[in-house]
Amino acid sequence: MDDELAQIFDECRELVEDTDFPAVRRWLAANPDGKVLGHFQVYFPEELAHAAGMLPIKILGGPSSLQIRQADARFAAFVCSIIRSSLELALTDKVDFLSLFVTHPICDAARHSCGVWARNLPDLPCQILYLPHNVRSAYARDYLEGEYRRIAGIIEDVTGRPVTDEALRASIEVFNENRRLLRELYRIKRETPWLVSCVEAYLLTRTGALMPREEHSNLLRRALPLLQAREAKPQDKIRVVFEGGFCEQPPLEMLSVIQDACYVVDDDLMIGLRWLVEDVPADGDPFAALAEAYIERSSYSPVQRDPEKPKEEMLIRRIREANAEAAIVAAAKMCEPGLEEQVAYSRALDEAEIPHLVMEFEEKTNVFEQVRMEVETFAESLLFEFA
Amino acid sequence: MTPKDGAAPHAELIGATRTESRRLMEQWWQNLEAAENEGRPVANVFVMGSLAEILATFDIPMSFPEITSLQTAVRGKSMDYLTAAEDYGYSPDICGYVKVDVGVHLKGREHPNGKLPKPSLVVSPNTCNTYIKWSEIWERIYGCPVFVLDLPGWRGTAAAGMTLEDFERDRAYVEGQLRELIALCEQVTGTPFDIDRLREVMGEVNELSELYQQVLAENRHHPAPFDAMLEGLNFMGIANAYRGVPEGTEFLRIALAELRERVRLGMGAIPEEKYRLLLIGTACYSHFRRFLELFHGWGGVFVHSEYMSFGGGGIDRGIAYDLDRPIESLAEQILSSSGKCFSGIFFSQDWQADIVGGWDIDGICYHGIKSCRTVSTGLPDTREWQMREHDIPGLFIQSDLVDARLWSDAQMKNRVDAFFEALASRKAQARR
Ligand code: SF4
Ligand code: SF4
């Protein structure tokens, strides 16, 4: 049993670290006139692409092995790494299969990068899907439904296939199923963290961004029972929530350093794939259902203001609901929204007397001694305190 | 050219603008302090979408934290506030304006120009994402209502661009939000909305925009009568702080009269104009004089800047409010000026090329602000695009608005000097 799991994780790791996107190229080989949509972080309604037979994949930078040679000259100094490495993928033809690129108004760098992509890739339509910043306006939902219809219109232009209500409902069901399986994975992580490590759960989640969603659900349906049946004993490790993985992703090695010292019982890693926290209702108008779900059935992040979901309160709720004892509050280097939220989080956690470790990371870091030392001292201080 | 009747005699025209702008900026501060002392609500707003049209209708004084932050830098005091915010926990890599403002609030709102008022309302457009995060800081400190005005911006490139239907949907969303903001202002002030007062304010903005465009156009002359990175900053500041009220419109009339007098006298912004420049980015307030010196020393003058567009509130492309349907037209005009002037800066290479043609410009200076991604992220890419597509020479330099640690004099001087040497040889070849 364990060797089948080991094989699954090896395959997932290869996929996550391979900047040639093999799963996408396999799909294109099987669907010669298939089209691929690349979407930047954080959330994109992938059902809109799927309903037109288009393959939606996430453009989210590269592993530390990706050398950035051309992209750096395009950007000013204080720009985060995921913006640079994502453009590097495009400039070095690693994502030459894209027929449409979509980013979002999550931050000023992401909005700017749409202009940089468009100037450098004149044949690739580059779009910004303007998710609402005033979600509590009575006019926000109708606006967002219209914005989804606008993007669906562009997808129809690119694919030559209509995004019908019927096709969209079917796609919603495919993604509802995938999100259910991811919630099950996270339930195992929360309740029995000794059965699945932080890195293993992360690999199983992130591969969803790189392959057809039906394939990913099959992978999860295979892996979850194997995890449940694993023979592993709980260790004396502190339970922590990792916060700060909503956009630029921390390197795998950093997650493994953390899991050596703690159980990561919940996190916001790849939250874009888990943004909708419940099923999107299948009845009624599917565009309206997706827009309503974005606002009313969703998680939280530093790049989406919602006065009804103050982020520090949502973090404390995530910690309580995961029965965690502490938090690691991380932010990507040069990430304005992440670094600003870090201050609000640590002030609120101080007030709630929840121990926490504040740190910065970069997707391309490959030196981890300092992180290991910080995490180990933090974990030991808590063990001693709770002992 | 005889002065129009009633216009000040020649001698008094020169220098009248600076005197008036100093008076108005002092009065602006006095109004803020008076409102605070008398317990009247003050709104924190931002230059890229202040919604002065609605706030002036309710007589709510506007505090511009971007302006109060830059004022500390011009007085050489920004680092005290900035380091206070970093000691509190803010990263060295985030927006300098935010940290200076946080520092002022941490120090009991004691600002070099006076006592900064407490916000009773925040109006934050989405034209800079940091505006929203900044607003959330005041929301946590003061519990004041934060109204985010969502202006869906530039959507990028696609075969089928934005349709009229798409624009109307955005407009309806903005109109709905404006009505929600009006209801919030009624609640905060306890006074009912007066649509005729709104028409009056919007009429003033129509004129302000017309005058602002004429002011910019005066710099088409050789030599240019003002420098966009010196006098231009005063024009922007007053156009923001006095948007929609008579003193603002009257100020631009005074400025226009002085500029025309300078043109008549052949009086340039600098003694001997040799190079006409466009600035993309913003000023550097921590080394304000030094920055200009590096360029003026070579006879380089900034005849135009994108900063006078987005930093002036987006009135430079013309505003045509239809006073018969004020709220609908306010939504429409704010949305389209935001699309051109605010989110348009991410893809403004064509606008830049038009300005280079229209103002007879020799080169573009791309001044990146390290801690401001909104303005800086894609500048090197745009510079390279202009050189490749239009053979327009460009200089890329980086410093900061208020963080003195991010200014390196030697590097700036070397790059600026090399740029002018290249421009000089280009001019020499052109003459041959
Ligand atoms: S890491 Fe932060 S700054 Fe960079 S693209 Fe993501 S949200 Fe924007
Ligand atoms: S990020 Fe730039 S535009 Fe936004 S508030 Fe800071 S200085 Fe102003």
- Per-residue pLDDT at B6: 52
Please tell me the distance in Å from B347's CA to the nearest CA on chain A.
Answer: 5
Q: What is the pLDDT of residues B40-50, one digit of tens each?
A: 999 999 999 99
Q: How far apart are CA B37 and CA B65, in angstroms?
A: 19
Which atom of ligand 1 lies at the shortest distance from residue A338's CA? 2
pLDDT along chain A (387 residues), means of 10: 91 95 97 97 98 98 89 96 97 97 98 97 97 98 98 97 98 98 98 98 98 98 97 95 98 97 98 98 95 98 98 98 98 98 98 97 93 96 77
Nearest residue of A to residue B181, measured between CA atoms = A137
Which chain B residues contact residue A109 at CB under 8 A? 373, 377
Alpha-carbon separation of residue A222 from A217, A272, B268, B393 (angstroms): 9, 23, 76, 59
Interface mutation vs chain A, best among B46, B141, B146, B157, most A CBs within 10 Å: B157
Cα distance from B275 to chain A (closest Cα, Å)? Answer: 25
Task: Work out the number of other CB atoms within 10 angstroms of the CB of residue B150.
Answer: 26
Q: Is the dihedral of CA B343, B344, B349, B353 positive or negative?
A: negative
Identify the pLDDT of residue B401: 96
pLDDT at B247 over 70: yes
Determine the pLDDT at residue A2: 78
Please give, rounded to a whole number of angstroms, the shortest distance from the CA of A140 to a CA of chain B: 7
Q: Is residue B323 helix, strand or coil? A: coil
Q: Tell which atom from ligand 1 comes closest to the C-alpha of A106.
A: 7
Closest ligand to the CA of A250 = 1
User: Whose Cα sits closest to atom 8 in ligand 1?
Assistant: A107
Q: Above 90 in pLDDT, residue B147?
A: yes
- Contact check, Cβ <8 Å, B173/A107: no
> For residue range B317-340, what is the model confidence (pLDDT) as tens digits?
999 999 999 999 999 999 999 999
Mean pLDDT over each residue of chain B, to the nearest integer: 96
- Other CB atoms within a 10 A radius of the CB of residue A59 amount to 25
pLDDT band at residue B3 using 50, 70 and 90 as cut-offs = very low
For residue A376, the tally of other CB atoms under 10 A from its CB is 15
Question: Band of the pLDDT at B1, cuts 50, 70, 90?
Answer: very low
Residue B9 has what pLDDT?
63
Best mutation target among A120, A134, A142 (most B Cβ atoms within 10 Å) is A134
- B76 at A interface, C-beta within 8 A: no
Q: What mean pLDDT comes out for the span B343-370?
A: 98
Q: Which residues line ligand 2 (CB under 6 A)?
A: B 66, 95, 97, 128, 130-131, 372, 374-375, 401
HEC string of A268-317 equals CCCHHHHCECCCCCCCCCHHHHHHHHHHHCECCECCECCCCCCHHHHHHH
CB distance A105–B91 less than 8 Å? no
pLDDT at A1: 67
Q: Residue A344 belongs to what H/E stretch?
A: helix A336-351
Q: Considering only CB atoms, which chain B residues are within 8 Å of A248?
A: none
- What does the alpha-carbon distance between residue A277 and residue B428 come to, in Å, rounded to a whole number? 66
Percent of chain B's residues with pLDDT above 70: 98
The single residue listed with the structure tokens 């202006």 is B151
Q: Is A336 on the interface with B (CB under 8 A)?
A: yes
Q: What is the pTM of this model?
A: 0.96
Using alpha carbons only, what angle is made at residue A310 by residues A305 and A314, rounded to the nearest 5 degrees?
115
CB contact residues (below 8 A), chain A span 38-57, against chain B: none
The SS3 assignment for A262 reads strand
Residue B159 has pLDDT above 90, yes or no: no
* Closest chain B CA to residue A74: B381
CA–CA gap between residue B220 and residue B207 (Å, rounded): 21
Enumerate the residues of chain B whose CB falls inside 8 A of the CB of residue A288. none
Ligand nearest to the CA of B101: 2
* Beta-carbon separation of A154 and B384 below 8 A: no
Query: Looking at residue B2, what is its pLDDT?
Result: 46
For residues A63 and A37, the answer to whether their CB atoms sit within 8 Å is: no
CA A110 to CA A101: how far, in whole Å? 12
Q: In this structure, are residues A163 and A170 in contact, taking their beta carbons and an 8 Å threshold?
A: no
Name the residue among B155, B374, B384 with its Cβ closest to that of A130: B155
Could you tell me if B70 lies within 8 Å of chain A, comparing CB atoms?
Answer: no
Q: Does B184 touch chain A (CB under 8 A)?
A: no
